[in-house]
Amino acid sequence: MTEIPEKLKIGPREGVSYPIKVQYCGNCSMPLEYCEYYPEYEKCKQWLEKHLPSEFEKVKLEEESQGADGEGDDKKRQKRGGKGMLKSKKKEEGPKRITLSRAPRGKKKSVTVVTGLKTFEIDLKVAAKFFGQKFACGSSVTGDDEIVIQGDVKDDLFDVIPEKWPEIDEDFLEDLVTKKDRFCLK
Ligand SMILES: [Zn+2]
pLDDT digits (tens, 9 = 90+) for 113-131: 999 999 999 999 999 999 9
Cα 52 to middle of ligand 1, angstroms: 12
DSSP secondary structure of 49-92:
HHH-HHHHHHHHHHHHHHTTSSTTHHHHHHHHTSHHHHHHHHHT
What is the pLDDT at residue 6? Answer: 64
Q: How many residues does the chain have?
A: 186
- CA atoms of 132 and 171, how far apart (whole Å): 24
Cα 24 to middle of ligand 1, angstroms: 8
Query: pLDDT tens-digit profile of 31-58?
Result: 888 888 888 889 999 999 999 998 888 8
Query: pLDDT tens-digit profile of 54-112?
Result: 888 888 887 777 765 544 444 444 444 444 444 444 444 567 888 888 888 777 788 99
Cα 26 to middle of ligand 1, angstroms: 6
In this prediction, residues 167-177 reach a mean pLDDT of 86
Which of 161, 49, 156, 50 is closest to 115 using CA atoms? 161
* CB-based contact 12:93 (threshold 8 Å): yes
Question: What domains does the chain contain, in order, with CATH numbers?
Answer: 17-64 (no CATH), 98-176 (3.30.780.10)
pLDDT band at residue 165, thresholds of 50, 70 and 90? very high
Query: pLDDT tens-digit profile of 132-155?
Result: 999 999 999 999 999 999 999 999
Query: Residue 20 pLDDT more than 50?
Result: yes
Query: Residue 9 pLDDT more than 70?
Result: no
Q: Which residues surround ligand 1, an ion (CB under 5 A)?
A: 25, 27-28, 35, 44
What is the pLDDT at residue 76? Answer: 45
